[in-house]
């Protein structure tokens, strides 16, 4: 264990504590010496050469607050360790905080870019009119769809596909067919883009699905599968960004706990002592030498 002593020595010139010109009560230092060693009777007893007055003790003012350290690092990771003078751990937690937030914003931005990419892909290759035509042709072949209505489709091909379909009628047909698990929300709802690449019932809306059949589950088109992968990539990017936020919270908690512990160690490692040495000068007079020392263990 390494010990550092910071020694401060102040030498004070005071009147002769043994002078017969003043009573013992006239000098506080003389009075203190008399309390420990008895009356001087105007003389300096030999047994008080190099005496030490009983002023030693630990100074609690040097202690730091573990609670304050914890609160500081809970707010700003590393701040509590700076307060505890544990600069290495302060740098560790502060660096982790910055790195995690950079990771969060970076991956959320990547997720947004990937989302824009797969939504553009869907608008180019998935057509709700094609899906509706398939429902109109085969919907009555499914259990529950025997009496379903014909979904109106506007013949004006200059309109976007999602504006040509009677969406409410399409949803009623989807609800009627027992084996269908979902009804398609309107574009550009997030669920619209999710469902067309997640549930096989929308397989026949993809432009590379050219089979004229009722079957929709076992013949998933390549673009259906490609689109599902694109969406999965976006979700993975968002997951990393969201995980970074969870780790930010964990970093705050760990930083607070470490700061409180660092202060506890600091309080055990720092001690302050003070005393007054009485030393006889060349002229025979007793001269007080106040001494203060700080001991730091680490």
Report the alpha-carbon distance of residue 181 to residue 191 in Å, rounded: 14
For position 219, what pLDDT does the model report? 95
Residue 129's H or E segment, with its range, is: helix 128-138
Say if residue 226's pLDDT is above 50. yes
Dihedral of CA 118/120/126/127: which sign? positive
pTM of the model: 0.69
Tokens of 243: 């995980």
Residues 266-295 as b/e (b if ≥16 CB within 10 A, e otherwise) read bbeebebeeebebebeeeebbbbeebeeee
**Is residue 288 within 8 Å of residue 277, measured between CB atoms?**
yes
| Domain range list for the chain | 3-63+268-297, 136-223
Confidence of residue 33 (pLDDT cuts 50, 70, 90): very low
For position 286, what pLDDT does the model report? 66
For position 37, what pLDDT does the model report? 45
Say if residue 24's pLDDT is above 70. no
Query: Locate tokens 């009983």: which residue?
Result: 54
């Amino acid at each position: 264990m390494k010990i550092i002593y910071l020694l401060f020595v102040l030498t004070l010139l005071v009147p002769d504590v043994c002078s017969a010109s003043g009573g013992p009560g006239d000098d506080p230092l003389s009075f203190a010496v008399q309390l420990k060693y008895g009356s001087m009777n105007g003389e300096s007893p030999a047994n008080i050469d190099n005496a030490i007055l009983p002023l030693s003790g630990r100074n609690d003012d040097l202690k730091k607050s573990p609670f304050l350290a914890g609160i500081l690092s809970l707010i700003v990771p590393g701040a509590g360790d700076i307060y505890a003078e544990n600069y290495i751990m302060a740098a560790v937690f502060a660096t982790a905080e910055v790195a995690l937030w950079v990771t969060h914003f970076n991956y959320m931005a990547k997720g947004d870019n990937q989302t824009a990419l797969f939504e553009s892909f869907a608008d180019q290759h998935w057509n709700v009119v094609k899906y509706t035509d398939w429902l109109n042709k085969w919907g009555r072949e499914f259990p529950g769809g025997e009496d379903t209505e014909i979904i109106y489709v506007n013949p004006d091909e200059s309109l976007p596909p999602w504006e040509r379909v009677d969406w409410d009628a399409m949803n009623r047909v989807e609800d009627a067919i027992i084996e269908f698990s979902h009804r398609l929300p309107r574009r550009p709802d997030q669920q619209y883009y999710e469902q067309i690449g997640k549930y096989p019932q929308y397989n026949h809306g993809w432009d590379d699905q050219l089979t004229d059949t009722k079957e929709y589950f076992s013949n998933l088109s390549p673009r259906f599968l490609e689109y599902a992968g694109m969406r999965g990539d976006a979700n993975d990017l968002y997951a990393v960004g969201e995980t970074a936020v969870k780790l930010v919270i964990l970093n705050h908690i760990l930083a607070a706990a470490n700061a409180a512990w660092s202060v506890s160690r600091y309080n055990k490692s720092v001690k302050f002592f003070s005393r007054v040495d009485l030393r006889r000068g060349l002229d025979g007079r007793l001269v007080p030498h106040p001494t203060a020392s700080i001991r730091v263990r680490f």
